[in-house]
Copies of this chain bind each other. A is one copy, B any other.
Amino acid sequence: MDILRTVSEMQSYADAVHATGKTVGLVPTMGALHGGHLSLMDLALNHADRVVASIFVNPTQFGPGEDFEEYPRDLEGDADKLRERGVDVVFAPAADEMYPHNDHPTRPAPLAWVEVEEFDNVLCGKYREGHFRGVTTVVTKLFNACKPDVAVFGQKDAQQLAILKRMVDELLFDVEIVSAPIIREPDGLAMSSRNAYLNERHREQATVLYDAIQEAESAIRGGEQDANRVVRAMRDALDNAPDARVQYADVVNAGTLTSVETLDRGEDVLAAVAVYFGDTRLIDNVHVRVPAVSSTDAVSADSERAGSAGA
């Protein structure tokens, strides 16, 4: 497994793969790899002939006061895990490779930006100003540097996934986006590099995020169509953790991320939460299709359908 440090080496590698008629899969990461990341690598290995894992702690997606400096970095440990998993190349560029024309070593202020408007006014985007603009900009750079045919992103960052899908669609990137399911610890906590920040007490309480999204899922599958009641069920579950400070609990359309008041039959929705334990911010979500016919109103729905067929 090679570790490439420059954009030009990376582009040459991708060109060489394509010249042999083979495909490149990309898994963008910020390192500090856990089981969730490794499941993305497996998915990429299934979808592409050669797999590139990028490791870059992207400064422009951290706001002032966020954990850019503290974010865990362990390139050697990460490389061991990736080698063992069968990844072909690690792309680990320095900041000035990804942000040329910038003098500041850790806080570049680029002039060229890629953004997806409106998708960043909700959920995490509401509280992390500029975060998703940093993400779409760096992913564009990674696409141009690694030239992937397929890129894999985790469903855990559901808003990021929706925004990147929209970016790829609108900007006509010839990249297939594959989404990977959330991987959880045995007690249900979604794997995250930030779980390492939690003390024991907070770690125990952190399972309420999974409880909350399970409550949302079962309410929606059970026929609940009032989004406010789904939100209340999530908040009740989160309230069981005395140290939790809820940033948001929300239900939105999974494709457009627009707010949902009434859950329409057959609509794909996202129930999502963000919660602080101390300074550590955790997120979780579930993607659910609102059932076409709920268990409680099967009869009336049937008669409605019969009615419209006869009209």
Instruction: State the A residues within 8 Å of B (CB).
Output: 7, 11, 15, 18-19, 21, 98-101, 110-119, 136-137, 140-141, 144-145, 147, 166-167, 169-174
Complexed CA–CA distance, A169 and B141 (Å): 10
Residue in B7, B21, B111, B141 whose CB lies within 8 Å of A166? B111
Q: A112-B114, A113-B114 are in contact. Are A99 and B19 (CB under 8 A)?
A: no
Decide: B116 and A144 in contact? CB cutoff 8 A: no
Min C-beta distance of A47 to chain B, whole Å: 17
A18, A141, A171: residue with the most chain B Cβ atoms closer than 10 Å? A171
Min C-beta distance of A209 to chain B, whole Å: 29
Going nearest first, the 6 A-B pairs with the smallest beta carbon separation are A112-B170, A144-B172, A111-B117, A141-B172, A112-B116, A11-B174
Min C-beta distance of A207 to chain B, whole Å: 36
Q: A101-B166, A166-B101 are in contact. Are A171 and B112 (CB under 8 A)?
A: yes
Decide: A101 and B170 in contact? CB cutoff 8 A: yes
Min C-beta distance of A113 to chain B, whole Å: 6
Complexed CA–CA distance, A117 and B110 (Å): 8
Q: List 25 A-B contacts (CB under 8 A).
A: A11-B174, A18-B18, A18-B19, A19-B19, A19-B21, A98-B172, A99-B170, A100-B170, A111-B117, A111-B170, A112-B114, A112-B115, A112-B136, A112-B169, A112-B171, A113-B114, A114-B171, A115-B115, A137-B171, A141-B170, A144-B172, A144-B173, A144-B174, A145-B172, A147-B174
Complexed CA–CA distance, A141 and B167 (Å): 11
What are the residues of chain B within 8 A of A145 when measuring CB–CB? 172
What 19 new A-B contacts, CB under 8 Å, besides A18-B18, A113-B116, A147-B174? A7-B172, A99-B170, A100-B170, A101-B166, A101-B170, A111-B116, A111-B117, A111-B119, A111-B166, A112-B114, A112-B115, A112-B166, A112-B171, A140-B140, A141-B171, A141-B172, A144-B172, A144-B174, A145-B172
The residue of chain B having its C-beta at the shortest distance from the C-beta of A140 within the complex is B171
The residue of chain B having its C-beta at the shortest distance from the C-beta of A172 within the complex is B144
Decide: B111 and A118 in contact? CB cutoff 8 A: yes
The residue of chain B having its C-beta at the shortest distance from the C-beta of A21 within the complex is B19
Decide: B117 and A167 in contact? CB cutoff 8 A: no
The residue of chain B having its C-beta at the shortest distance from the C-beta of A167 within the complex is B112
Complexed CA–CA distance, A116 and B137 (Å): 11
